[in-house]
Structure 1
Amino acid sequence: MCRLVYRSKQRGFLELDLVLGSWVEQHAHSMDEANIRALLQVLDLDCLIPQENPDLWKWLTSQEQPPEDLNSNPVFAAIKSKVTDNLTKHASPETRSTPGQPWVRGWDDIKKGKDGPKYGNQ
């Protein structure tokens, strides 16, 4: 179990490290063999898809649709549900984009000119 928690917290993408690592830390000890295999499928994505971490983050936050086989993964679905619940509870609607659309970065909005967002993730 320690190896699963470590792998989930060391993805090289801070947001994903925090979300995935916290979820695995909370649930790994109560998972059955089938769910552990499903978790391993999620953790092994970096071996199959180059640049997986940004893609996995976009899939979990509904910025992009995940591959169909990942969409049917029960662990991925549970983590995505947790992310969606957190976004609904803690992010005001005006800071979110519509599902399927990329998020707007707030830190470089000034470079977009006067037609760009005035502040934050609009």
Structure 2
Amino acid sequence: MTGLKRSSADLDPRRRRILFRCWHRGIREMDLMLGQFAEQEIADMSDADLDALELVMKEEDNDLVKWITGADVWPERMDTPMFRRIAALRPDFDPVTMELSGKLK
């Protein structure tokens, strides 16, 4: 299950690559957090926004999860408009919780 609902056919190569990388982070929570964010926003992002998103994507998944969920305070370097936009999104974790409970097959 990738979670991807948006086609990347109309995106330029950079946006396609970023969208793919957001949905394939390594841990499912980050797939859902960054993947859903990118899916909603990628088409309308400026080059500066894409640069800022790529900087966020360089961070370790475990750190990002803690910062985005509020389990840990994010460092000053992450206090950027892009990171705040990502942290403001509340991803849909239903696919994960349903999968874990055995309700989704």
TM-score by length of 2: 0.69
1:9 aligns with 2:20: no
Gaps of 5+ in 2: 1-14, 93-105
Query: Which residue is equivalent to 1:20?
Result: 34
Alignment: residue pair count: 78
Which residues in structure 2 correspond to 1:1-122 (within 5 Å)?
1-45=15-59, 52-71=60-79, 73-83=80-90
Larger Rg: 1 or 2? 1
CA RMSD of aligned residues (A): 1.5
Q: Matched residues in 2 for 1:13 and 1:74: separation? A: 24
Q: Matched residues in 2 for 1:21 and 1:9: separation? A: 4
Structure with larger RCO (C-alpha < 8 A, sep 6+): 2
User: CA deviation digits over 1:60-85, x for unaligned, max 9?
Assistant: 011101110111x22210111113xx
Gaps of 5+ in 1: 46-51, 88-122
